[in-house]
Amino acid sequence: MIQTKKLKRHYREWSYKPVKDIAIYNVSRRSVTEEQLNEFFDWCLHWCHKKFGKVKGKPVPEIEWSWNDLRYQKYNMLGEYDKDDNIISLRIQGHRNIYNLTNTIIHEYVHYMQPTHANWYERYDKTNGYKKNPYEIEAYHLGDSYAVECAVQVLRWMGGR
């Protein structure tokens, strides 16, 4: 499957258990400021770096975001990782809450961690399609597995906001 040895140690069986004592934080222009979002993104990247590591010889990616990128909206995209510029781009609108947003950040960070030599992502995309691309399966799995853990820790670091 994927040659990302560092990420394999993070594999765990998927089992969703709702956590009743965790607040659901909405993500909207009325509920959160741009400064709070920027701080949240910085802490999320810090959490991802601590949890998953970083690519040798490449800095941790930066996050660029907008409330609603029309191209992303047209293709129903919430984010993407640009390996050439090492940037995670996010569209905030479309994320129901802070956990969905965190899931997208982790998903794109996993793409940063995945090997890019020989264009395996593109090869798998052509042969298997997006939904069966092992790179996407891994990114979705890790995003789903760690979104709540990351968001809770980041909110603690930010002072419980």
pLDDT digits over 55-67, tens only?
A: 999 999 999 999 9
Q: For residue 10, tell me if it sits in a domain.
A: no
pTM of the model: 0.84
Domain range for residue 69? Answer: 24-157
Q: For residue 4, tell me if it sits in a domain.
A: no
pLDDT tens, position by position, 67-93: 988 888 888 899 999 999 999 999 999
Closest CA relative to residue 155, chosen from 9, 19, 61, 17? 19
Among 41-45, 55-59, 66-70, 130-134, which range has the highest average pLDDT? 41-45
Q: For residue 78, tell me if it sits in a domain.
A: yes
pLDDT for 81 equals: 96
Total domains, the chain: 1
Would you say residue 5 has pLDDT above 50? yes
With both helix axes pointing from N to C terminus, report the angle between 120-128 and 134-157 in degrees, rounded to the nearest 10: 120
Instruction: Please name every residue paired with 31 in a beta bridge, in sequence order, or none if there are none.
Output: none
pLDDT for 125 equals: 87
